[in-house]
A and B are shown apart, each in its own frame.
Chain A
Amino acid sequence: MRKQLPPDMLARDSRFVRTSIMDQVMDPRNQKIGERDLGSARLQPERPAAADRARNLMHGIFTGEIQALEGAGRTTFDFDDDEAPFALKLDMARQCWDESRHVEISVKLGDWMGTEIGEYSEAVFLYEAACAPDPVLRLCGVNRALEGLAIDVFNTMKEFGDSSGDPVLEFCEDWMLADEVTHVKMGSDWLRRMTKDDPERLEKALEFQRTVDKLFSLGGFRGETEDNPIQLARNFRSMAGFSTDEIDEIAELAAQAKRDAEALVAGSS
């Protein structure tokens, strides 16, 4: 088996359909939607199409968990003993188990919400963050950016479960959220440990994280306003080792991503 498995080699059964992020970016409807006032984009039961939006997001979580599992698994394998410390690999193996359970939970939640495996297409940009050749960059991309997004998504979903009174959804999201806080904390701790004497490597890793975080906020998907379906979960992020400055920075990146999307719409109209 080779080291460094490219995203197009992720193995899936025949139910899954792959999509590229470009399909979303190039969708001719984007501009028209941008011109309409659709009201709050937050995922709430009283918003239009809430059930199908929640089911769609649930499937996105499911495929995201598969990719997180694969990313953590690859990190145990891709680096030799001198590239990644033993304890780091142990943490990644632990994360493998956690993500494996998250996939299981997501499948059960999909059953509960009436979502079938493969019903929605899968984009692999989450796994792409797990392909960095430097383990520190990978930890930043996966454990701080991707897992940070997971915190935001699960918190959004947990609030949706709570506000709709769905006992199963809220229960599951709460448990997954606990694991994700652990994973982000793992990433924050390893980042500090492995770059203690190497400020240049630290800066490179943080820069990579910023790039990934901006990608994950694409088109205003995540942020802190009514326009963002996924809300930045400040309290859980600080629990996971993000400083207030770091959270502010992600909020600004998200706002910037939203402005970029609006400029794109304005520019093409």
Chain B
Amino acid sequence: MADPYKPRAAFAPWDRRELPGIFSVEDSARRVGNYKWLEMRLFESLGGWVATVPELDVKLVLGRHCYHHAWHAELMDKRLPELREMDTDRLCEAPNPEMEAFVEALREPEAPEHTIEKLVGVFRVLLPRKIAAYTYHLNGTSRITDSPTQRSLGFMLQDEFEDWREGEMLLQSLIETPEEVDRATRRQAELEKLILAAGGISGPGSLGPIVATEGASL
């Protein structure tokens, strides 16, 4: 019979979690504040667009995704005080004016004929950027000290992947002509340039510091 009193290691051999992570409490809070701000702007835009898209399936998907991003905003809002940010509004902001300009451009289309432009902004530009930045945060932060953020990011990423796939499939089914391919790519390029100027969803360093390494030019 196994001896229940035999000393065992706190970390099982397969548990490879390490200390420290690459983010301080303040770093993590700043990013979480940016995420909350962005998730809010996104769920509002999806909610607002519901009434402006004539395609019934798109209307229903926007209604569903609207709640996904609201829930993400709620998760981030709840995390902020745990990161010593008692005023949950203070860090709820865009990382820079360029990101504000990106969001402004993202939510600008209104006409019922512009469903492609609306969806391209969300599913071909913003969601891939979110997936990238959340993944960087998830992988870089300490899996021990910042585990609550990680757990939330894990749920959020799961939604982002599923939603991205659904949105991309909608787009593929809506784009029927070479002209519509041009519309979609034009729109994507416009918005990519804006988010490039912002440096990503939490500003420069969204995917980590850019460090020049020896031989990089090779």
Contacts and interface: CB of A to CB of B under 8 A. Distances in A.
Asked whether the complex places CB atoms of A and B closer than 8 A, the reply is yes
B54 A96 contact: no
Interface stretch (A39-47, A68-76, A235-243, A257-265): A68-76
Contact of B66 (A76, A86, A101): A76
Given A1-B110, A89-B44, A92-B47, A73 B54 contact: no
Contacts of B74: 90
Q: Is the interface of B mostly helix, strand, loop or mixed?
A: helix
Contact of A76 (B52, B70, B77): B70
Interface string A65-103: 010011011111110010000100110111011011101
A74 B64 CA distance: 14
B60 interface: yes
Interface stretch (A2-10, A151-159, A208-216): A2-10
Contacts, number: 106
A89 B70 contact: yes
A104 interface: yes
A69 B54 CA distance: 13
B42 to A, nearest CB: 10
Interface in A93-135: 93-94, 96-97, 99-101, 103-104, 117, 127
B48 A76 contact: yes
A198 to B, nearest CB: 22
Given A1-B108, A11-B52, A77 B47 contact: yes
A25 B63 CA distance: 33
B109 interface: yes
19 contacts: A5-B52, A9-B52, A11-B52, A11-B112, A12-B54, A66-B59, A73-B46, A73-B48, A73-B62, A76-B47, A77-B47, A86-B73, A89-B44, A90-B71, A96-B47, A96-B66, A100-B60, A103-B63, A127-B51
Interface of B: 40, 43-56, 59-64, 66-67, 69-71, 73-74, 77, 89, 107-110, 112
Closest 10 CB pairs of A and B: A77-B48, A100-B63, A93-B70, A76-B47, A97-B67, A73-B47, A73-B50, A70-B51, A11-B112, A11-B54
